[in-house]
Amino acid sequence: MKLTVTGRHVTVSDAVRDGISRKVHRLDRVLNDSAVSAQCIIGRERQLFVCELTVHARGDHMLHAVARHNRLPSAVLAAVEKLSQQATRLSDRWKTRRRTSRPIRAAALVAEPLPEVRGPRVVRSRSQAVKPMSLDDALLTLTDSQQNFLVFRNAESDAVGILYRRPDGDFGLIEPEG
């Protein structure tokens, strides 16, 4: 994780930078090395030090905390504690999503691993017989059923046709050329 420490009207010594770096790198363990970058801005408002921490985690998650204290190390520690709570909630969210997204089946553990599918999946449904019928018969069959489409063999041309419901309420027909 890349850490940037800047001071607004305050000079930040190397010892302070190292202390901030050690405290912020604890968040890296909570986020399982998913933190991309961190930015720490140290400023002074009246008699208080202000520590503003922003951490960018994977997936465009931004964690942000602001803490004020009259001592600089205490302000940094308070900001890191706030970020630690946010990071814990975020990592728990990632873990529960991972757990609920893919349930493990006992048969899948025994069988050989499935090939990775990228892109849209093809879900096979039960096969249906392609009956020869006229266009009017196919239209009547589709209007009587709750299906959105009907595959049939045209009785006149002996070609396969697909009759489907359109969103505007009409029916569409797909027939092969030739």
Q: What is the pLDDT of residues 120-149, one digit of tens each?
A: 877 777 777 788 888 888 888 888 888 888
* Residue-range domains of the chain with CATH: 2-100 (3.30.160.100), 129-172 (3.30.505.50)
pLDDT at 100: 59
Q: Report the distance separating Cα 17 and Cα 34, nearest Å.
A: 22
Question: Taking a C-beta distance cutoff of 8 angstroms, is the pair 34, 68 a contact?
Answer: no
Q: What is the pLDDT of residues 40-66, one digit of tens each?
A: 999 999 899 999 999 988 878 899 999
Q: Report the distance separating Cα 124 and Cα 72, nearest Å.
A: 63
The pTM of the full predicted model, rounded to 2 decimals, is: 0.52
* Strands of 35-45's sheet in order across: 2-7, 35-45, 48-57, 61-69
Helix (H) or strand (E) holding 101: helix 72-101
pLDDT at 82: 93
